[in-house]
C-alpha cells in the first residue's frame, strides 16, 4: 500500500504526461445517441472517431479503457481539445478525486472500486471529461460496473436518452460510487468473520488480515473524502456544463458519498474495537497461564521442600525413626495442599481462570 505516483521528471513543463510502462492497450468504444437514434461502435484507430462526432442534439460518449499508449491520448486530445493540465491528470495517476471547471470542459476525477472476474479487489481512477454534447471517460484497466448505464442508453425512451450529456456524466459517476457498496459489504463480512475468530481463538494471522483491511480502509478514505468535496462543489457551484435539473440527482449522489464515508468510518472504529478485543484476549490468556503456573508452583514447591527435609542424610534426625512419621508427613502435605487450594478458591483464582467464566457468559 506504499504510495507510488506515476509522474514526469521534476521541473517538467506543466501538463507533461508521465511515461507509462507496461500499461494495457487502449480499447475505445463510442456511443452516439439522441432521443431518437442510437449507435455503438468499437474503434481501433482514433482517426475513425472523427467521422463519429455528435451532430445536432446527439450526444457522444467515448469510453477509453487502457492507458498503455500515450499517442492515443494525444490524438484524442487533438480531436476533442482537453486542457493540458487535465490531460496530465488522466495519465499521472493516482490523483485525488476532484471536479474542476476549465474553459473548455468540466473535468472529473473519481474512483471505481469493484471485484473483477477473478474476484480480485480493484480500486482504480476514472477520469471524466464533460462538454456540451460529449462525455469522454478514461480508465486504466478493462471492465467496469457500468453495464446498466449502457443498457439505459441502448433502450429507447429511458430518461437517459432524453437528457443531456451532463445526465450521462452523472449516471456514470453515480454508478461508480454505488459500486463501492458491495465492496464495503464484502469488507464488512471479513470483519464479521474476524470478530468471531477474535472472540473464540485469535491467531496472529488474523492480525495481519486486520492490518490489510485497515490499509484498504485508509486508501478508500483518502479517496472518498475528496470525492464528497467534489460532488458537493458540483451541487453547490453553478457551471455551464451541468443543468439545474441534473443537480437534484447530484444531491442524491452526494448523499451516497456521505453514506459511504459514514459506513467506512464506522468500519474503521470497528477495527480498532477488534484490535482492542484482541489485546484484551491476549492479556486474559496471559493471566490465565500465569495463574496455572502460580497455583501449581505454590502448591508443590513448598511440598517439595518438606520432602527435601526428610531426604537429608543427617545421622541424628529423631523424626525419621518414628513409626508414625511417614503417615504424619502425608498428613502435613495434604493439609498444606488443601489449605493452598482453599486460599486460591477464596481468591477466586480457581474456576475464574477459564471455564466457569465462559459458562456464565450469555
Per CB under 8 A, contacts with a second copy among 234-293 are 248-249, 251-252, 255, 258-259, 262-263, 266-267, 269-270, 273, 275-280, 282-287, 289-293
Q: How far is the CB of 56 from a second copy (least distance, A)?
A: 25
Distance CA 92, CA 134 (A): 23
Which residue, 134 or 260, has its beta carbon nearer to a second copy?
260
Which CB sits closer to a second copy, 25 or 156? Answer: 156
Q: Give me Rg for the CA atoms of the chain.
A: 35
> Which residue, 118 or 204, has its beta carbon nearer to a second copy?
204
- Within 8 A by CB and 6+ apart from 256, the residues are 174, 177, 178
If the CB atoms of residues 74 and 286 are measured against a second copy, the closer one turns out to be 286
Distance CA 243, CA 132 (A): 10
CB nearer a second copy, residue 25 or residue 290: 290
* Interacting span for a second copy (CB under 8 A) from 62-70, 71-79, 119-127, 212-220: 212-220
Task: Give the whole-angstrom CA distance, residue 88 versus residue 184.
Answer: 30
The verdict on 118 binding a second copy (CB under 8 A) reads no
**Separation in Å, CA 14 to CA 11, 85, 105, 110, 197:** 8, 7, 19, 22, 52
> Residue 163 in 3-state DSSP?
coil
Which run of H or E residues covers position 33?
strand 27-33
Q: Which of residues 137-166 bind a second copy (CB under 8 A)?
A: 145-149, 151-152, 158-160
Residue 310 engages a second copy in binding (rule: CB under 8 A): yes
Q: Which is nearer to a second copy, 118 or 313 (CB)?
A: 313
Positions in 69-98 near a second copy (CB under 8 A): 85, 95-96, 98
Put residue 172 in one of left, alpha, beta given phi > 0 → left and psi -120 to 50 → alpha. Answer: alpha
| Residue choice 36, 51, 244, 301 for contact with a second copy (CB under 8 A) | 301
What is the distance between the alpha carbons of residues 32 and 268, in angstroms, rounded to a whole number?
43
CB nearer to a second copy: pick between 72 and 257: 257
CB 163 within 8 A of CB 90: no
According to DSSP, the β-strands at 98-101 and 59-65 are unpaired
Cβ atoms of 294 and 264 closer than 8 Å: no
Does 335 help bind a second copy (rule: CB under 8 A)? no
Least distance in Å: CB of 138 to a second copy?
18
Amino acid at each position: 500500500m506504499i504510495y507510488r505516483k506515476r509522474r514526469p521528471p521534476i521541473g517538467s513543463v506543466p501538463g507533461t504526461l508521465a511515461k507509462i510502462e507496461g500499461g494495457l492497450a487502449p480499447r475505445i468504444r463510442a456511443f452516439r445517441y439522441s432521443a431518437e437514434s442510437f449507435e455503438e461502435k468499437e474503434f481501433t484507430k482514433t482517426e475513425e472517431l472523427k467521422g463519429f462526432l455528435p451532430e445536432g442534439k446527439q450526444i457522444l460518449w467515448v469510453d477509453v479503457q487502457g492507458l498503455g499508449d500515450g499517442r492515443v491520448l494525444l490524438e484524442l486530445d487533438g480531436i476533442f481539445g482537453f486542457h493540458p493540465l487535465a490531460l496530465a491528470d488522466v495519465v499521472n495517476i493516482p490523483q485525488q478525486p476532484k471536479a474542476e471547471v476549465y474553459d473548455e470542459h468540466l473535468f472529473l476525477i473519481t474512483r471505481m472500486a469493484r471485484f473483477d472476474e477473478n474476484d480480485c479487489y480493484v480500486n482504480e481512477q476514472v477520469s471524466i471529461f464533460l462538454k456540451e454534447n460529449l462525455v469522454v471517460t478514461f480508465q486504466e484497466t478493462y471492465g467496469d460496473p457500468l453495464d446498466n448505464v449502457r443498457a439505459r442508453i441502448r433502450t429507447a425512451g429511458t430518461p437517459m436518452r432524453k437528457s443531456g450529456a451532463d445526465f450521462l456524466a452523472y449516471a456514470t459517476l453515480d454508478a461508480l460510487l454505488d459500486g463501492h457498496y458491495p465492496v464495503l459489504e464484502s469488507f464488512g463480512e471479513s470483519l464479521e468473520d474476524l470478530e468471531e475468530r477474535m472472540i473464540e481463538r485469535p491467531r496472529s494471522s488474523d492480525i495481519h488480515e486486520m492490518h490489510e483491511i485497515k490499509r484498504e480502509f485508509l486508501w478508500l478514505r483518502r479517496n472518498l473524502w475528496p470525492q464528497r468535496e467534489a460532488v458537493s462543489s458540483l451541487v453547490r457551484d453553478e457551471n455551464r456544463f451541468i443543468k439545474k435539473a441534473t443537480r437534484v440527482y447530484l444531491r442524491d449522489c452526494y448523499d451516497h458519498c456521505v453514506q459511504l464515508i459514514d459506513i467506512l468510518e464506522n468500519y474503521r472504529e470497528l477495527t480498532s474495537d477488534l484490535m482492542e478485543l484482541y489485546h484484551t484476549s491476549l492479556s486474559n490468556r496471559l493471566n490465565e497461564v500465569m495463574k496455572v503456573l502460580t497455583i501449581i508452583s505454590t502448591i508443590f514447591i513448598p511440598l517439595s521442600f518438606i520432602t527435601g527435609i526428610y531426604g537429608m542424610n543427617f545421622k541424628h534426625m529423631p523424626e525419621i525413626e518414628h513409626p508414625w512419621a511417614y503417615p504424619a508427613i502425608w498428613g502435613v502435605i495434604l493439609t498444606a495442599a488443601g489449605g493452598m487450594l482453599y486460599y486460591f478458591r477464596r481468591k477466586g483464582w480457581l474456576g475464574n481462570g477459564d471455564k466457569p467464566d465462559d459458562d456464565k457468559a450469555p
